[in-house]
Amino acid sequence: MKVVVLTGAGISAESGLPTFRDADGLWEGHDPMQVASPEAFEDDPDLVHRFYDARRTALGRVQPNAAHQALARLEEHLGGDLYLVTQNIDDLHERGGSRRVHHMHGRLRAAWCTVCDERHHWEDDLGDRPPCPGCGAEALRPDVVWFGEVPYGMDEVQRALFECDLFVAIGTSGLVYPAAAFVHYAIGAGAGTLELNLEGTGGDFAQVREGPATENVPAWVEEILAR
C-alpha cells in the first residue's frame, strides 16, 4: 500500500509550536500570515527576520511528540511506500526519527542567499545580517516559501499523489494552496482519503477523525502496523 502523508502546523502544536490560524493570533501586533510574504520582507526586513529568528530560537526548546514519532515508525514499516510531505518548516519530523521528509515550504534551519542563490544550513539569527558563507553578501533570507512563491518539489509530490492508495492529512487547515488541493489529486487517482485533525476542516475527505494529533496519529499508525 502506497501512502502519502501531508502534515501541517497542528502536528507540532502539542510540542509547543503555535499554529498559524488557531493561536491567540498576533505576533508583535502583526498577523503572522502578513509577515510570511515577500512584500512584508521588502517593506520591513527587520520585522520579518525577528519573526523567523524567534521561531528558530523556539525550535531549540521543543521536542518531537508522539505523532512525529508514530510517523517515523510508519516509515520503518512501509519504507519507500510512505511519502511524507510537510508544510512545516520545523525539523520535528527528522528529530522524531523520520528519514525522508519533503519540506514543501522550506526549512527554518536553512538560509538562502539572494545574491549567489546558495542555500546553507543555519542555526543562528539572520536579523544581524551575517555574510553568506559562499559569496560574502549580506543578503541571506530564511529559506522558506512565502505567499506568491512556488513551493519546493511539486512535481515529486504530484507523482506521489497520483500513485498513492491512501492520502492522509494531519493537522492542517486546508486553507493554503497547493497543499489544500492534494486531497483532490488523491481522489482523482482513486485513493482513499483520511483527515486527522483536532476539528474536521470540512474538506472532501472520505473519513475524518477528530482529536489531538498525539492521540489520533499513533492510534492510526498502530492500525496500519497491525494489518
Q: Are 217 and 13 in contact (CB under 8 A)?
A: no
Q: Which of 68, 93, 102, 105 is an active site residue?
A: 105
Q: Quote helix, strand, coil % in the chain, to nearest 5.
A: 35, 20, 45
Q: Are 70 and 215 in contact (CB under 8 A)?
A: no
Q: Which is nearer to ligand BJW, 36 or 70 (CB)?
A: 36
Q: Which of residues 156-195 bind ligand BJW (CB under 6 A)?
A: 171-173, 175-178
Q: Are 168 and 152 in contact (CB under 8 A)?
A: no
Q: Is 65 in the site for ligand BJW (CB under 6 A)?
A: no
Largest Cα separation within the chain, whole Å, is 54
Q: Residue 105 catalytic?
A: yes
Q: Which of residues 87-126 bind ligand BJW (CB under 6 A)?
A: 87, 89, 105
Q: How many residues does the chain have?
A: 227
Q: Which is nearer to ligand BJW, 145 or 189 (CB)?
A: 145
Q: How buried is residue 9: exposed, middle or buried, by Cβ count under 10 Å (0-12/13-18/19+)?
A: buried
The footprint of ligand BJW on this chain (CB under 6 A) covers a number of residues equal to 35
Cα–Cα distance between 119 and 121 in angstroms, integer?
7
Q: Is 21 in the site for ligand BJW (CB under 6 A)?
A: yes
Stretch that binds ligand BJW, among 77-85, 121-129, 142-150, 218-226 (CB under 6 A): 142-150
Stretch that binds ligand BJW, among 39-47, 75-83, 117-125, 149-157 (CB under 6 A): 149-157
Stretch that binds ligand BJW, among 8-16, 70-78, 112-120, 124-132 (CB under 6 A): 8-16
Stretch that binds ligand BJW, among 18-26, 76-84, 118-126, 130-138 (CB under 6 A): 18-26
Q: Are 92 and 62 in contact (CB under 8 A)?
A: yes
Task: For residue 83, give the H/E element and its range.
Answer: strand 82-86
Cα–Cα distance between 59 and 85 in angstroms, integer?
19
Q: Is 12 in the site for ligand BJW (CB under 6 A)?
A: no
Q: Which is nearer to ligand BJW, 165 or 208 (CB)?
A: 208
Cα–Cα distance between 39 and 106 in angstroms, integer?
18
Query: Which residues carry out catalysis?
Result: 105
* Residues near ligand BJW, by CB under 6 A: 8-10, 13-14, 19-22, 36, 87, 89, 105, 144-151, 154, 171-173, 175-178, 197-199, 201, 212-213
